[in-house]
């Protein structure tokens, strides 16, 4: 029997990309899914697709930058399923690269709000119930940019380094409560992420780098692998690049 069967898994950013692929992947493992994103039509369709394939899913429209909405999401999961076993956190990340001298302050704030605060709000929402049940698993999405900083990716990389630091801190604080942590750091992945690029001086180079992007299903498989491990095994970090990505 799968170690994932009947686990309650919250997935943020579930309306597209890695979040959507993860939801579809976990459907086959018997997980009970709580889908969260801002686009309700996408969530409704994903729920229908999952249930059509014999899976169990509910959804709640949620903005990860709202602490209140993330708390409501966790409460909804608890009301419907009675527990939260896994949080797949921050598939909603944004990546509006630009050079610092251009002072795109609005983009900086958006990355900080989504990529850092969104992660913290997700952790804060699920941690009380996980501590109470003495088990849980938080999977945070970082990036290759959380390991290597490129020109133009300074603020984005800063947010992704922060995700790794937050996740490692969470591990050290909560391992005694049997709460596992995993950092997933994807390289170029086919998704809507590059659509958030606002600096047209950088976009051609990024588009070129993403020509070798791997499918979101590859990251979903890694997430499923981490969840599948027995409770005494924690896959703490995975860095997953396209074979031909140079950094």
Contact 40, 46 (CB under 8 A): no
Q: How distant is the alpha carbon of residue 31 from its chain centre?
A: 17
CA distances from 49 to 35, 132, 136 (A): 12, 33, 27
Q: CA of 86: how far to CAs of 62, 151, 226, 246, in Å?
A: 17, 35, 11, 32
* 156: annotated active-site residue: yes
> Hunting for tokens 């699920």 — which residue is that?
126
At residue 87, φ and ψ (nearest 5 deg) are: -115, 120
234 touches 181 (CB < 8 A): yes
Do residues 121 and 64 lie in contact, with contact meaning Cβ atoms separated by under 8 Å?
yes
End-to-end CA distance of the chain: 38
121, 156, 175, 210: the active-site residue: 156
User: Which 3 state secondary structure label does DSSP give 189?
Assistant: strand
What are the C-alpha distances in Å from 40 to residues 15, 35, 62? Answer: 8, 10, 9
Active site residue ranges:
156
């Amino acid at each position: 029997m799968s170690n994932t069967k009947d686990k309650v898994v919250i997935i943020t950013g579930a309306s597209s990309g890695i979040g959507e692929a993860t939801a579809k992947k976990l459907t086959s493992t018997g997980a009970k899914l709580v889908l969260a994103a801002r686009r309700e039509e996408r969530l409704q369709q994903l729920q229908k697709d999952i249930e059509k394939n014999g899976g169990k899913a509910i959804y709640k429209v949620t903005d990860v930058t709202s602490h209140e909405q993330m708390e409501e999401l966790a409460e909804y999961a608890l009301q419907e399923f009675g527990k939260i076993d896994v949080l797949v956190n921050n598939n909603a990340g944004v990546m509006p690269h630009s050079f610092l001298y251009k002072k795109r302050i609005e983009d900086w704030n958006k990355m900080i709000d989504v990529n850092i605060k969104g992660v913290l709000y997700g952790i804060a929402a699920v941690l009380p119930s996980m501590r109470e049940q003495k088990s849980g698993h938080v999977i945070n999405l970082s990036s290759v940019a959380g390991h290597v900083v490129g020109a133009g990716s300074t603020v984005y990389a800063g947010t992704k380094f922060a995700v790794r630091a937050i996740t490692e801190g969470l591990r050290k604080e909560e391992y005694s409560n049997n709460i596992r942590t995993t950092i997933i750091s994807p390289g170029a992945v086919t998704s809507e992420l590059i659509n958030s690029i606002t600096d047209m001086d950088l976009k051609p180079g990024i588009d070129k780098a993403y020509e070798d992007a791997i499918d979101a299903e590859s990251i979903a498989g890694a997430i499923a692998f981490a969840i599948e491990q027995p409770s005494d095994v924690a896959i703490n970090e995975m860095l997953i690049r396209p074979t031909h990505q140079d950094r």
